[in-house]
Structures are given as C-alpha cells and as structure tokens.
Chains A and B, each alone.
Chain A
Amino acid sequence: MNGPIAVYIDHFKGQALAASWEALAAGRRLADEAGTRLQALIFGAKVSELAEQAIQYGADEVYTAESESLRDYSPEPFASLASGLVGEAAAVLFPTTTRGREIAAMTAIDLNSGVITDVTALQLDGDRMVAEKPVYAGKAVVRVVCRTDPQILTLRSRAFPKGEPDPNRQGSILPVSVSPDGADGLSSHQGYAESGGGVSLADANIIVSGGRGVANNPNLVPPDSMDEKETELWRAHQGYKLVGDLAEVLGGAVGASRAAVDAGYIPYAHQVGQTGKVVSPDLYIAAGISGAIQHLAGMRTSKVIVAINKDPEAPIFKYARFGVVGDLYDILPALTDAFRQRLGG
C-alpha cells in the first residue's frame, strides 16, 4: 500500500465517540495486513488526552491540531485541516457520525477522490479496500471500491469491533499548526441549543423501543378535564414511562417508531427506522411496534430482537429472536422487575 492509513477521531468536548475507536481498530487491522503505518487525526481545543488514547487504541502517529478556534466543530476548517494532512495517505477512515460523514464528503472533493459512506465490512484486495455498504435501507448491499487515492470511507457505528486499549503501546504525537481562516465561505458556531436532547441511540448496546401501542391502555383513567388528544398523550406518557424504566434497568436508550413520533408521543430524536436512526444494538426490545418495513430498515441488524405485541400476527415476530404475545402494560413492568432482581440495582 502506497502510504499510511489515517483515521479521523470524532469527539465532543474531548470525549471520543465510540465509533472513532471502532474505526481506529479497523484501521489497525488493515494497516498490519498491508504493512503500513496507522495515523490518527484529532482536532480540538484540548486533545492531548485523546491523543494518548488513540495511541493505546492502535495509532502509530497522531496528528493533533489544537486551537481555541477548534473548540467547537464547524465543517469548513475541520475539512481543510483533514484534507491538508491526508494528501499522501492511501486511505482515510472516518466514523459515520454527523461530523465524520460531513468532513469525509468535503475531503473527497478537496482531494479529487471518492467517498464510500456507512461501510459495514472491509477487505483488502492488493492496495484497494473493498467495502460493503447497505443501500435501499439495507434491502441491498453494494460491494464498491475507490479507484483513486486517498480512498475515503466512513465506517458504520457498531459494525466493527472496538478493540482493547493497551496502556503500554508507544506512538508519536505530531502537533500541526492551525492558521485561523478568513471568515468568507465559512459557517460559524453560535452555541448549543437546549432543545432536542441528546439521545445517543447510535452508541447504545441496548435499546428499548415503544410504538403506537404505548398509548393503548383503555384501563388507565386520565385526570379530569382532558380532551381526547390530551388523554392519548397522557396515556402515551404512562407507556413510555414503562419503556424508560426497562431501558434504565438495562442501561439502554429509548427508541420509538415513526407513528409514535408523528403522534407527538416522543421527540423525533428517538425515532428508529429508514427516516430516523439506523441502529444495530446487541439487544433491541420492540414493544407495541407492528414491524413496518421502514421501521425494520432501522433495526433489523440488531443482534437479538425481542418483540412484545398484543397481536400474534404482527409482522415484527418474523424478525424477532424472542416473542411475547401480550399487553406491554403487563409485560414491561414484570420484565423490569425480573431484570432488577437478576442484575441488581
């Protein structure tokens, strides 16, 4: 392979996203196989700790760009930095995060190369990386290679194993200078908004999801003076409380179907599916979700799927490893208790 493999480490306020270490571990494996060096790229206001971590996770060299102007992400300066550093690389791997995908896309334009996003499998063929990438929401897979260098790829979250940090690994840290850009053609960071809280569905090992069924408990008596819609939302709230309790005991995240999001039961950030988040946890528990094709597109690759549904004919059972025909209002609290007993806490 002509040149090193570089991996972009995406982080938020100095905390790396898990997918960054997954990409680094994949890069390590490929670099060993190709007999080349593995580089990590880290940009931010304070990155020395991350740089040490990157070495422990397998980097031979870490390029760090440290500057107050890089405290918060904005695409253009980050892409320019990346493009400036990987011109000689044979391949650049990014985690498929909102930032990683964007920088990868821009770097491909800057360096006149191609980008393959959301890769789920990678193999070396000579000096080319043969990537598998789901298309049509996973209903098909393409096998694709980038003919130009650097080959730019973004790796899907949780598709590659993370690897163990080795505190004895040695590597070098190479600071690069950052020249402040002019203000033209740039987007600028203005702050963070409170709304739309950060549910990290993509990183979750366990997801408990609720669908339209969460609002369906006619036995619950709502407080007085609620109209029909208020009653429905109140019921949904009771249902999501059960979903949330189970997620909490399991240390997981809460997901939802689009029908639940559209009905206003829960914010869009929780939506799983073709037009929501694509997730692949070890355990996905779907309660009160029928299993529409667009929902399946977002969670079908989960390792173990559990379906809880009143309707024995619900399509979700065809994709589940375990199924329970029953009312989620009965099953979820009992399951929460059962895990509490078994897992403690």
Chain B
Amino acid sequence: MKIVVCVKQVPDTAAKIVAAGGEVTWGEAPLVLNPWDEYAVELALQLGGDVTALTVGQEGPNEALKQALAMGCGEAVLVSDPALSGADSQAIARVLAGAVSKIGAVDLLVFGRQAVDDDGGVMAAQVARVLGWPCLSLAASVQVEDGTVRTERAIEEGRQVLSARLPAVISVTKDIGEPRYPSFMGIRKASRAQIPTWTLGDIGIEAPAPALSFLETFNPPTVEVEVEMIAGESPEAIAASLADRLIAEKVL
C-alpha cells in the first residue's frame, strides 16, 4: 500500500506567541512537527507499506519532515514556491492535491486533525474534495482491508462508523494510539536525508489564487481577572461562600 502523510511544521505549543507589526513571532521556541500530525504519522507507519511525508512550506530545513523521517517514514517531499506566500487553506489544498497526483498511485492520504498554528481543521476535507476522493475525518480507529478503509469517526454524539473504497483521505485523532519515539537510527537517517524540494512548476500547476485576506493579527487583550480567594474555617464554610458568590454571578 502506498501512503502519503501530510505534515506541517509549527511553533511548539508552549511558545509565547507575540503578534506585532503584522508579524507573528515565538521567540526562541523551537519549530516542531504539528502534534496532531504525530498521530497521522503513527497511523501511517502502523498500517505499513510505502510511506511518504509531504509538506507545503518555506524553503530550507523542515522539522516536520525531519521528525516524520526519524519516526520511520521512508521518504519526504517539500513543496515550496515563493508564489505561495499569502496562500490560504484552499490554495494549499490544491497544491497538496497536485503533489499527491505527481507522487502517483497513492492509496491512502493521512492528515492530522488540525494544525496548531492556524487551527483550521479543514485540510483533509479540502484535499479530498479537490481529488474527488472520499473523506473519512476524525478517525479514532482505522482498518484497511481488501481495498476498503473503515473508520470510527469521533462526533459530538459518540462515534460513527464510516467506510470507503481506496483511494481515500483520512484524518486521525489521538485515539489512534501514542506516537512512537524516533529511534537513534531513525534520527541519524533523518539528519542525513536529502529531501527533494518541488516548485509549483515541478508539480505542473499555477499558484492558486487566495480567497482570504488577512487584515491583521493581534494578541487578545489580556483580561485582568482579579482572583478572589475564598477562605474559611472549614470546607463547609468555604463551600457555602463560594456557592453564594457563584449564584450572585448569575452563571448557574
């Protein structure tokens, strides 16, 4: 089976994010493989076969691809093109779909649930739609058998079982199982890997026009909450005054 796993490089989730002068910065915090994509890579490796990690990003070293290789992906591809600055999700989706077509004969395309920088959560569905493939998103478990993929989809009400014929697109949740740690050999292999970079020309598409304009990015005003500590002689006394205060706040 030929699997492509789409991954993204993002700032570490513990980073302090500063938005100023139209730019977002994260200080010294490292760039990492999007945490949700660790689960996507894990699932791809569990399913086995020929696994390629794919990203659209800036030129240069890419932590997401490096980590994916270190975890055990056989190959990695970076798509990078100056014409993609200002791209929105549908534009990236069209580029990813183009890259998947160039890779060719892909059976399964795996995504993380969402990228922790743009918090979009739309890419799997959009790429599926561009390719005309079925989309099984938010998979908590996945089985592939006889050219059919079957997933349990996490929904508000519990879980829904969906199936589709390959080729198909899936996105995964954490229920897939803990992502493996890269082995020492894996890390060495990843650090030596020559990762090919494709331009839009290599894929054979024009830069898709963005539909969205980002007007500004700002840090939300810090609402100074003055914490009111509730103390008392006994747990009962504390509970009584806390209950009264909450009833007075009209949140019950």
- A residues touching B (Cβ–Cβ < 8 Å)? 12, 17, 72-76, 79, 97-99, 101-102, 104-106, 108-110, 112-118, 130, 133-148, 184-198, 200, 202-203, 205-206, 250, 268-269, 274-275, 282-283, 293-294, 297, 303-307, 317-326, 330-331, 333-335, 337-339, 342-343
Look across to chain A and name the residue whose beta carbon is closest to the beta carbon of B218.
Answer: A141
B239 & A335 in contact (Cβ 8 Å cutoff): yes
A321 & B238 in contact (Cβ 8 Å cutoff): no
* B29 CB → nearest A CB, Å: 11
* A288 CB → nearest B CB, Å: 15
Residues of A within 8 A of B164 (CB): 186-188
Interface of B is mostly: mixed
Given the known A-B contacts A105-B126, A146-B211, are A326 and B243 also in contact in the complex, defined by CB atoms under 8 Å? no
Residues of B within 8 A of A117 (CB): 119-122
Look across to chain A and name the residue whose beta carbon is closest to the beta carbon of B117.
Answer: A136
* B130 CB → nearest A CB, Å: 6
A188 & B158 in contact (Cβ 8 Å cutoff): no
B184 at the interface (CB under 8 A from A): no
B216 at the interface (CB under 8 A from A): yes
Residues of B within 8 A of A324 (CB): 229-231, 238, 242
A269 to B245, CA, bound (A): 30
Residues of A within 8 A of B242 (CB): 306, 322, 324, 335, 338
Across the interface, B156 reaches (CB within 8 A) one of A12, A275, A334, namely A12
A109 & B129 in contact (Cβ 8 Å cutoff): yes
Given the known A-B contacts A136-B116, A195-B152, are A318 and B227 also in contact in the complex, defined by CB atoms under 8 Å? yes
B190 at the interface (CB under 8 A from A): no
* B231 CB → nearest A CB, Å: 8
A283 & B163 in contact (Cβ 8 Å cutoff): no
* B11 CB → nearest A CB, Å: 7
B229 & A99 in contact (Cβ 8 Å cutoff): no
Residues of B within 8 A of A106 (CB): 125-126, 128-129, 135
Q: How many residues of B contact A (CB 8 A)?
A: 85
Residues of B within 8 A of A188 (CB): 162-164
A306 to B137, CA, bound (A): 35
Residues of B within 8 A of A72 (CB): 160
Residues of A within 8 A of B214 (CB): 142-144
B200-252 contacts to A (CB < 8 Å): 210-220, 225, 227-231, 234-236, 238-240, 242-247, 249, 251-252
B161 & A114 in contact (Cβ 8 Å cutoff): no
Across the interface, A269 reaches (CB within 8 A) one of B119, B154, B236, namely B154
* A108 CB → nearest B CB, Å: 6
* B169 CB → nearest A CB, Å: 9
Across the interface, B227 reaches (CB within 8 A) one of A105, A135, A321, namely A321
Across the interface, A136 reaches (CB within 8 A) one of B17, B210, B231, B246, namely B17
Q: B130, B211, B216, B220: which has the most chain A beta carbons within 10 Å?
A: B211
B3 at the interface (CB under 8 A from A): no
A-B contacts, 13 listed (Cβ < 8 Å): A109-B126, A115-B126, A134-B220, A140-B24, A192-B159, A196-B159, A304-B249, A321-B227, A322-B228, A323-B227, A324-B238, A337-B239, A342-B244
A101 to B126, CA, bound (A): 11
B235 & A144 in contact (Cβ 8 Å cutoff): no
B246 & A306 in contact (Cβ 8 Å cutoff): yes
B216 & A143 in contact (Cβ 8 Å cutoff): yes
Across the interface, A139 reaches (CB within 8 A) one of B132, B213, B219, B239, namely B219
B212 & A114 in contact (Cβ 8 Å cutoff): yes
Residues of A within 8 A of B156 (CB): 12, 17, 97-98, 198, 200, 202-203
A187 & B163 in contact (Cβ 8 Å cutoff): yes
Residues of A within 8 A of B17 (CB): 136, 139-140
A198 & B220 in contact (Cβ 8 Å cutoff): no
A76 & B134 in contact (Cβ 8 Å cutoff): yes
B14 & A98 in contact (Cβ 8 Å cutoff): no
Look across to chain A and name the residue whose beta carbon is closest to the beta carbon of B133.
Answer: A185
B227 & A102 in contact (Cβ 8 Å cutoff): no
